[in-house]
Amino acid sequence: MAQKVGNAKNILVGASPLFISSTDSTDTTNYVDNAEPGSTAAAAFVSGTSYTTTLNGVTSGTFYYRNVGYTNNGLQITYNPTYGSVTVDQLLDTAKLFKESMEVMIATEMTEGTLENVLTVFGQGASTLTAETGFSTGTVNKTKTLGLAAGALGVAPTERQLIAVGQAPTTTDGDNSKTTERVYYARRVLSVQQSQFSLARNNPTTFPVTFRLLPSGDTAYAGQEYGKIIDRILA
């Protein structure tokens, strides 16, 4: 009798669109803490509609998620716990491990050189990006400017929220395959590592960024302090 050794439909291939919250922690009036996927603040799930389509349909307002556009080298998610060890005389190997620290990172390369993306890579607050009236409609000689802020000693880095939408394992109901997607959500992300880009003759300018995730201290999110991964059945 043949035995099933695996399910190829559970193999994940493909890039994920990346969305960053339009406002950030420096905007105390409009920033929404914990704007989870499917919530009113982020955008409700719509039956039969990919969350990418839903988020792309919201491009204005006091709070929304902005599509960063094309990326390169995918999204690299690093989940890095550090453990200490306890040794005892009676055992040759470690008797016990205990968690000492935790670090979660998400890295990618943004390939669209919008000032909004540069601002995100530099980890600056939204207030450092200003546009003259008429710039968005293409009025000649109007400008948009990103200030390169030095910040101040002791000031906390700018925090944002992140959503990515990708492929999920195909669930089955009998013999009927389902259309699915996976939604990744990070509650607190900070661009805190060095980012270097070049203006070169023969190569495109890309903007590497590494986000450090920080956990929420809200007890309402116990067990999902960094965020969550959601699998949705679309059809």
Of 149, 78, 144, 76, whose CA–CA distance to 113 is shortest? 144
Amino acid of residue 235: A
Neighbouring residues of 39: CB distance < 8 A, sequence distance ≥ 6: none
Residue 8, in any domain of the structure: no
Residue 1, in any domain of the structure: no
Residue 14, in any domain of the structure: no
pLDDT of 206 strictly over 80: yes
DSSP 103: E
User: Residue 31 belongs to what domain range?
Assistant: 19-136+143-233
Report the b/e string of 33-43 with b at 16+ CB within 10 A: ebbbbbeebbb
DSSP 90: T
Residue 2, in any domain of the structure: no
Q: Cβ distance 51 to 80 under 8 Å?
A: no
Per-residue pLDDT tens over the stretch 16-55:
999 999 999 999 999 999 999 999 999 999 999 999 999 9
Count of domains forming the chain: 1
Of 161, 133, 144, 140, whose CA–CA distance to 27 is shortest? 161
108, β-bridge pairs? 209
With a pLDDT cut of 70, the percent of the chain lying above it is 97
The pLDDT value recorded for residue 174 is: 54
Residue 84, in any domain of the structure: yes
Residue 171, in any domain of the structure: yes
Per-residue pLDDT tens over the stretch 129-145:
999 999 989 999 999 99
Residue 199, in any domain of the structure: yes
Per-residue pLDDT tens over the stretch 153-195:
888 899 999 999 999 988 765 555 788 999 999 999 999 888 8
